[in-house]
Amino acid sequence: MNNLEDELKKAFKSELGFEPGKGESEQKEIGQMKLIFERFVKDTRQARLVFWIFFLLSVGMMAGGYIGLRSAADTKGMLSWVLFFMIGFNSTILMKLWYWVVDTKLNVLKEIKELQLQIAESTGKSSPAEN
């Protein structure tokens, strides 16, 4: 690396004197962080809501299928209601499975990262490379 590039790094590390100003800018930052945080909370709630809507829909299908099966008069009608019931039943299983897979994956990754962080903190060095 040549001299100018070294100087550039140094100049940028000195932040070129650019820090968000005080007063109005600080207020804007606080307001902004609040807004972002609120959006995050809203988004998390929305994701949960979507999950529960689909889950209840699937349970509803199961219940409808079961009631339909009990009240069906002919074999063809019974088979249709069984199919309806099975779709609802499989949807609940798939949703639970999907949730479990995603949650487990995130938990395992989290554990790995925490372990890496502990190693890095105890050795004072950066963590080993990942594959």
Partner 1 sequence: MAKSREQIYDELLVLKSQQGDREAFGLLVDRWQKRLWRYAFQVTGSESAAWDVVQETWLAVVKGIRKLGDVAVFPRWAFRILNNKCMDWLRKRHQQNRLDSELSKRAQNESGVRQNINEKTELLCASIMKLSSEQRALLMLRYHEDFDINQIAEILGIPEGTVKSRTHRTIKLLRQLMGHQQNE
Query: Could you list the residues that contact partner 1 (CB under 8 A)?
Result: 4-5, 7-21, 25, 28-29, 32-33, 35-37, 39-41, 43-44, 47-48, 103, 106, 109-110, 113-114, 116-117, 120-121, 125-130
Q: How far is the CB of 88 from partner 1 (least distance, A)?
A: 26
Which H helix or E strand runs over 70? helix 24-71
Q: How far is the CB of 57 from partner 1 (least distance, A)?
A: 21
Nearer to partner 1, 22 or 76 (CB): 22
Kindly list the distances between the CA atom of residue 76 and the CA atoms of 10, 18, 82, 83, 88, in Å, as whole numbers in the listed order.
Answer: 79, 75, 10, 11, 19
Residue with tokens 């609802």: 88
Quote the crossing angle between the two packed helices 24-71 and 75-123, to the nearest 10°: 150
Q: Closest Cα partner for 58 from 82, 77, 84?
A: 84
Nearer to partner 1, 50 or 79 (CB): 50
Nearer to partner 1, 33 or 93 (CB): 33
Nearer to partner 1, 9 or 96 (CB): 9
Q: How far is the CB of 108 from partner 1 (least distance, A)?
A: 10
Which H helix or E strand runs over 6? helix 3-13
Q: How far is the CB of 43 from partner 1 (least distance, A)?
A: 5
